[in-house]
Every structure is written in C-alpha cells, then in structure tokens.
Amino acid sequence: MSKASLQVISCKGELQSNSNLVMIFCCMLGRRGEPLVIEEIQVEPPQASEIRVKMICASLCHTDILFTKGYPLSIEFRRPNCVSSSISQALFPKVLGHEGAGRITFSCSVVESLGEGVTELKEGDLIIPTYIGECKECENCCSGKTNLCQKYPHGLMFDNSSRMSVRGQRLYHLFTCSTWSEYMVVNVNYAVKIDPRVPPTHASLISCAFSTGFGATWKEAQVESGSSVAVFGLGTVGLGVVEGARIRGASKIIGVDLNEEKKEKGKVFGMTDFINPGGSDKSVAEAIKELTGGLGVDYSFECTGVVSLINEGLEATALGRGVTIVIGVSHETIASIDMNSLIWGKTVKGSIFGGIKPQSDLQSIIDKCINEELHLDALVTHEIQLDEIGQAFELLKQPDCVKVVVLI
C-alpha cells in the first residue's frame, strides 16, 4: 500500500509538554473500505481563530459510512478570501468523525487551548463541533434564506493547511473537524458552546444527525399543528423528524422502515402509524394515502439515502401543497422524479443540517434537551471505547442499533 493512500480514521493520545500533541489514532491503511487501524499522530496547537479541543465522546452518523468509502461532495463553496473551492474530491488520508461533544469533566471534550483572537470561548468551555458554520457576513448568511454559510472549509483549515500529521504526512480533517480523536482543532466558527447540564452523549447527537431531522421539521418544512407527516427511515435523523413533528403538533406521523424493530422505537418519539414496505404489495405512497383518507400527507421526509424513495415521498404528499424534504445522502446522485406531481404544485427541497444555523438556532434544541423534552437517551443503543472503533460499523448493521457512541 502506498503511504499516500493511508486513511486515518481516528486518533488517541496525550498532550506533550511542547504543546504539540502526540497521539495514538485509528487509521485505515490502503484502499477505502479497509478496516480501521489505530496509529500515532501529531495535532498542532490552534492558530488564529481556532480552538484545540480534548474530545471525550463522539458518535457515528450514517454519513460516516459514506465517508469511509470516499463519499464525494460535488458542491463548490467560497473560502473567506473569495476563491471558490471545490470539495468534490475524497481527501485521504484523513481523521474521520464529525459528531462529538465536550465537557470539562468526564465524557466530553474540553477546550484545551485558544488561538489568537478567540474571544467567544474560554479555556474549559464545553463545545460541540458543527460541520457548517455561520459567519453572519457572507451572501448566504445575510440572505436569511439558507443555513449554508459560504465559508466552508472541507478537509483543511481556511489557510489550506492541516493541524494534523502522521510521520510528517499531512492528514485531512473531516468536514471542519475530526471527532474520533482525543484532540481536534477547529475554527471557532464551527464550534458551539453547550450548557454543562446537557449530558455529553446527548450533546454529541445534537452536533449532527438528531438536529438534522429535528431541524427539518422546524426550519425547512415548518410543520404546523394538526398536519400529517411521513418519515422514510427511522434512524437518528428520521427519529429526529418524528420528535420535531410531534413537538410541532402534527396529528399524524407515519414512520416507514424496513426494520420492524423501528416500530416500537418510533412510538417513543411520537410516531402514530408504521409502514414496513417489505410486508405489503402496495407502494409506500399508496399505503400512506390510505392512512390519510386518500389525499396524502402534508409533509414527507426522506431519511434513508435510498434515492428512489425521493419520488415515493413526493407521491405520498398531497396534491397542490405537499412538501418533500430530502435529507438522506447517497453515492447515487441522480434521482427520477415524476414531473406530473411537481407540476401539480408539489415541492421537493433538499436540506443540510435540517436548515439549522449553528449559532442562531442550536440553542433552542439545547434548551429542549435541558428541559428533558427530547428522547435522546432512546437513541443511544451502543457504547464503545475509541480503540474499539473498528467494530462500530458492524454494530450499525444490527437491527437494534440506532446510535453508537464512542467514549474517548
């Protein structure tokens, strides 16, 4: 295997007196999809506007599976110096993980050190990383129409350098961070301070999957009281949709999943009806229409990453007003859509992070967590240590698995 193809998955280690970090990390040698391996790397101190964080827990999102296979993102973002940056390449070697959390004491991450000019956070603060930022200055942030800030570092810091290396070789970050690691360096624009009353595992889920589903009902669909909702896929994202729809007062929340074990899980979050597509000759859209007096639901949410279900979600919504929010991610990037449904007034909208702006919106979810309005405990089905990370993807295949939390 060539050195250039080394894929670093996560890391572990201790702070050295020279303030560089020598770490033990999990890595993937050779081609994508190979087993994860633990190695030793260096993490540098933070530079201007950056923070160095000691991770204490992290978690796995379905998108992490795609990333181990080199999932390509084919979007162009603009860096602060206004040079467009393509993030279409799968960057290797890299340290994986984009969900994680921090707390001063056990089982989260501690802000270890602050770069020059960091005034928003202080030594010892608890943080979660976010894979999108909110600069409040770019055209998108100022538009009020989207949460997708145009200042988007992918794999490297804004100055095109990395804070991690292995035996002199540069390592890429994942998105803006790299959470399967004892230490990570992030730009302050991609970190949100959390209240220490939030349990660390809950904070980790809030940093991506749960907030994505929850936010989609709030920021994207704006589900109204009394409305009907269909959710395709009851993983952490889909269960976040169910929770959000329930809190917003939806009267019918139909969960769709091939895994029968998700029937009971969905009920915990407020699902009113369950469809297992494997158990019927009808299309899912037909089954959903039967449950809604033939009209279809007001909102459908695609949370599986199975692209054919986007059209199924569209068909399942009501004529003239149905809205389908596409959240699931896949290596397949082309989906077939029935033009008749679109022309007759239905909408399909894609969403990243549920439309949530990290700095402006996340606090509302954190408050609900503190007030124990959310069922985040029911999502955590498995806990492992960082050096067991190699088993994590196998655990995700078990029918009773929703979320694997990594204790660091």
Ligand X SMILES: NC(=O)c1ccc[n+]([C@@H]2O[C@H](COP(=O)([O-])OP(=O)(O)OC[C@H]3O[C@@H](n4cnc5c(N)ncnc54)[C@H](O)[C@@H]3O)[C@@H](O)[C@H]2O)c1
Q: Kind of pairing, strands 169-171 and 183-187? A: unpaired
How far apart are alpha carbons 329 and 61 in whole angstroms?
Answer: 11
Segment 310 to 369, residues that bind ligand X, using CB under 6 A: 327-329, 351-353
Site pattern 35..74 for Zn ion (x: CB under 5 A) = --------------------------x-x-----------
Least gap, CB of 209 to Zn ion (angstroms) = 5
Nearest-approach distance from CB 91 to Zn ion, in angstroms: 17
Q: How many residues bind ligand X (CB under 6 A)?
A: 30
Measured from the CB atom, the residue of 208 and 323 that comes closer to Zn ion is 208
- Say if strands 76-78 and 110-114 run parallel, antiparallel, or are unpaired: unpaired
Q: Which does 391 bind (CB under 5 to 8 A by kind): ligand X, Zn ion, none?
A: none
Single out the residue of 12, 103, 262, 382 in contact with ligand X (rule: CB under 6 A). 262
DSSP codes of every residue in 161-223: --SEEETTEEEBPBTTB--SBSEEEEEGGGEEE--TTS-HHHHHHHTTHHHHHHHIIIIIS-P
CB of 175 to ligand X, least distance (A): 11
State in angstroms the smallest separation of the CB of 349 from Zn ion: 19
Residues 229, 322: contact at Cβ < 8 Å?
no
Could you tell which of ligand X, Zn ion, none binds residue 237, using a CB distance below 5 to 8 A set by kind?
ligand X
User: Rule CB under 5 A: is residue 135 a binding residue for Zn ion?
Assistant: yes
Work out the widest C-alpha separation in the chain, in whole angstroms. 68
Q: By CB under 6 A, is residue 130 in contact with ligand X? A: no
170: exposed, middle or buried (Cβ count in 10 Å: 0-12, 13-18, 19+): middle
Shortest Cβ distance from residue 323 to ligand X (Å)?
A: 16
Structural element, H or E, at residue 360: helix 358-370
Which does residue 227 bind out of Zn ion, ligand X, none, counting CB within 5 to 8 angstroms by kind? none
Q: Does 208 bind ligand X (CB under 6 A)?
A: yes
Per-residue burial over 241-265, b if 16 or more Cβ lie within 10 Å, else e, is bbbbbbbbebebbbbbbebeebbeb
Strand partners, 99: 59
Least separation in angstroms between CB 147 and ligand X: 10
**Residues 208-227 within binding reach of Zn ion (CB under 5 A):** 208
Question: Using CB under 5 A, which of 28, 114, 132, 149 touches Zn ion?
Answer: 149
Q: Using CB under 5 A, which residues numbered 163 to 192 contact Zn ion?
A: none
Identify whether the C-beta of residue 206 lies closer than 8 Å to the C-beta of residue 365: yes
CB nearer ligand X, residue 182 or residue 257? 257
Answer with the entry of Zn ion, ligand X, none that 39 interacts with (C-beta below 5 to 8 A by kind).
none
236 is a site residue for ligand X (CB under 6 A): yes
Q: What are phi and psi of 236, to 5 degrees?
A: -60, -40
Which positions ≥6 away from 394 have C-beta within 8 Å? Answer: none
DSSP 145: S
Q: Decide: is 238 part of the binding site for ligand X (CB under 6 A).
A: yes
Binding at 135: pick from ligand X, Zn ion, none (beta carbon under 5-8 Å per type): Zn ion
- Told to check if 62 binds ligand X by CB under 6 A, we report yes
With binding defined as CB under 6 A, does residue 237 bind ligand X? yes
| Cross-sheet strand order for the sheet of 21-28 | 7-15, 21-28, 36-43, 164-166, 169-171
Cβ neighbours around 76 below 10 Å, total: 12
Our CA angle for 195, 198, 201, nearest 5°, is 130
Number of residues that bind Zn ion (CB under 5 A): 7
State yes or no: residue 306 binds ligand X (CB under 6 A).
Answer: yes
207 binds Zn ion (CB under 5 A): no
Rule CB under 5 A: choose which of 138, 194, 327, 348 binds Zn ion: 138
Interface residue list for Zn ion (CB under 5 A)? 61, 63, 135, 138, 141, 149, 208
Interface residue list for ligand X (CB under 6 A)? 61-63, 66, 208-209, 212, 232-238, 256-259, 262, 277, 303-306, 327-329, 351-353
